[in-house]
Structures are given as C-alpha cells and as structure tokens.
Amino acid sequence: MTRHTILQVIPELQTGGAERTTVDIAAALVAAGQRAVVASAGGRLVDELTAAGATHVTLPLAAKSPFAMWRNMRALKRLILSEGIDLVHARSRAPAWSALWAASACDVPFVTTYHGIYAQKNAAKAFYNSVMARGDTVIANSRYTAELIARRHPFARSRITVIPRGSDLSALAPEAVSPDRRQALGARWGLPADTPVILNLARLTNWKGQTVLVDALARLAAESDRPWTAILAGDDQGRGDYTQKLRTRIAEAGLEGRIRIVGHCDDVPAALALADLAVVASIEPEAFGRAAVEAQAARVPVIATDLGAAPETVLTPPEVAEDARTGWRIPPGDPQAMARAIGDALALDDKARASLTERAAAHVSDLYSLEAMCSRTLAVYARLLEAT
C-alpha cells in the first residue's frame, strides 16, 4: 500500500462540526496507515488531533484579508513541498483560496467540503463562496447542501458528492456513559434531582435561536406547572453581548435557575445522557445539523426547526407515517409551536418514548456513522490520487 500524506486546512480547531470532522478524518487516515497533516491557527482540539497521530502546523488561517490569504498561500505551498503533501482538503473559504492557489501551483489534487450555508447577497460574495465549489471533488454534507451548491455554482454539478457528517454513534449510546460521568456533569451544572432536563447544544449566537427557546420556555412555564430545567450549552466565542441578552431575557421571564447558561460542553455524550429532550432551535438553515443526529443516537427525543437538512435527519409526518416519526420539526422562530412540541415530548409515556427513540437511533445508525463518513471520504482521496 502506498502511504500518502493528506493536508487538511481549516481556520481554527476550537469547536464545531467542521473542526470535529477534521479531527475525525485525520484519525481515520492515521488508522488506515496514511499520514495526516492539519494546518490551522490552533485551538482546543489540537491535543486530540496530535494524540491520534496526526501532525498540526500552526498558520494564521483564520485571517481573511487579501494580503493574509496571499501570505498563507505561500506558506501552504512551502508546506506542500516540504512535507510531501499528496492531496489538499479545504474546509473553509479564506484558507480554501490560499489552499487552491497552493495546490494548483504544486499540481496536487484539491478537495473541498461545503460545511455551511454561506451568506450570498451579492456577486462579490458569490465569487468568494465559489472557492468551496472549486475542488476536484466537492463534498456536500447533506442532500440539502448538494442542491444548494448545484444551484449556486452550476459549474460544479458533476463534481459534487454527498457524504453526510458522521458521529461516533457507539460513544453516544446511553450505556456507553458511566454513572460517574453523568453525576460529575450533573453536579457541575447544578441539576436538581428528578427534574426533566431540556438540552440545547449549540454555539451561543443569534442564528442558533436560543432567544426563541427562552421565549418558548416562558410560555410553557406560564401555561403549565410541569417541572423542568433547561441547559444552554455552548461557547459564545466572544459574543458577550449575545450572552448578556440571553441572561436578561431569562431574568425578565422569571426563569433564572430554570434556564442555565453553562458554557462549552466537552462531554456531549454525558450531556445527552442527562437530557430528557434535545431542542435544535436554529432560525437559519443548518447545512447538516449534527446536534439533531447525535440526540437521536443517544436515544433522546429531539425537536428541530424545519430548515435546511432537518427533513433528512429528523423524520416527521407528512413525509413519513406517524409510526415512523423520529422527532418533531417546527417552524423556525415560532415560540408557540416550540412550546407545544416541548410539552408533547415531555408528556410521552415510557412506552411511547422508547418506541420513538429506538426508531430514531436506527434511522441515524443507518446513515450517519463516523465509520461511513470516514470510509467514503478516504475513498474520495484514493480515487483522486489514483488518477494523478
């Protein structure tokens, strides 16, 4: 077997789906006997990356100015030549431009993954976004994303392949989380005993819809004396104003103590093991929606807004029969619909809950495993390398 060296480029390795995927693919490459190199500005996931046997190279790839992108192109070109890079995979726009120029100059294959729904309001932004469709293969993380790429960038139609985001589903199963992990996280969050937990796992930013969830919970509290505690778990990535806005909204609703902002969660399986319900409240389309998939894998009922790839990941009527439902989808930005869905989910009896969550776990295990994502991505690399 020929040993190849694959370079992935991404702005940072802090948190998020693209960052998590970068680490997962690097680990899969190493496990397959290949060499994995990742260039980024660094972050909390670097230690995990290097522990998996990959090499990290620190470059200021989060910078977006034309001069910075030009300097990064030169640095990446030197890296490709010095490390014997055989293929470059870009996962974000600014570093993708630098990587495209460098890969072209060194005549190595170039792959992109379209991870997000990038804003595109004018011709200049459309051109900037187009780099993510300029790969020799363009990976879309959902059918929704693939259709968006084809519509925006028709020149890339023949090069698009759908590889859904994969998660370590076995690690998310309730039996994989020890009581000690659950207790430690529950104690850190100060969760009261025997009270249903509503979990929102998302970065604290306006488009993730936490304000809508707070408003929905305020309605729920006004209409019912049902006990619950809600956890907003996510990094605000410096958006202190938004975090303060949430705290003010919670206080005005009289829900201090019942809705808790806990910051970044570094043990997602334990968080889901504590949860009775997961809510994905986004008010803009999700290109994929990892949180909804992982909740289903963890056998936690999930409510998601009906945007983006949600119809692929969360099955509901009328697309499927009621007895094939795997969760709830609701209109975005609608606190009343969200409050109603939360009430319905919390009211499930044990039998109905078990039936729903078993269907959901089977659904995601068929489509969204880490193994499937990694094997299909490595197959893309192999095909391109064989053609060179």
pLDDT at residue number 83: 97
Contact 281, 198 (CB under 8 A): no
| DSSP state letter for 146 | H
Q: Is the pLDDT of residue 284 over 90?
A: yes
Are 264 and 234 in contact, with CB atoms under 8 Å apart? yes
Q: In this predicted model, what pLDDT tens digit does every residue of 172-194 receive, in sequence order?
A: 999 999 999 999 999 999 999 88
* pLDDT tens-digit map of 136-145: 999 999 999 9
Give CA angle at 147 (143, 149), nearest 5°: 115
Enter the DSSP assignment of 92: S
pLDDT digits (tens, 9 = 90+) for 93-130: 999 999 999 999 999 999 999 988 888 889 999 999 99
Provide the whole-model pTM: 0.85
* Distance (Å, whole) CA 225 – CA 219: 11
Q: What are the structural domains, with CATH classification, of the chain?
A: 5-166+369-387 (3.40.50.2000), 169-367 (3.40.50.2000)
Collapsing DSSP to helix, strand or coil, 333 comes out as coil
Q: Quote the pLDDT of residue 238.
A: 80
Does residue 318 have a cis peptide bond before it, meaning omega lies within 30 degrees of 0? yes
pLDDT exceeding 70 applies to what percent of the chain?
100
How many other C-beta atoms lie within 10 A of the C-beta of residue 225? Answer: 5
> Residues 12, 16, 20, 22: is their CA dihedral positive or negative?
negative
In whole angstroms, give the CA distance from residue 18 to residue 373: 13
Strands 35-40 and 55-58: parallel
pLDDT at 1: 67
From CA 338, how far away is CA 230, in angstroms rounded? 14
Torsion of CA 316, 318, 324, 328, to 10 degrees: 20
User: What tokens does 293 get?
Assistant: 């998939």
Tokens of 313: 């990941």
Helix (H) / strand (E) containing 247: helix 240-252
Which of 286, 362, 297 minimizes the C-alpha distance to 324?
Answer: 362
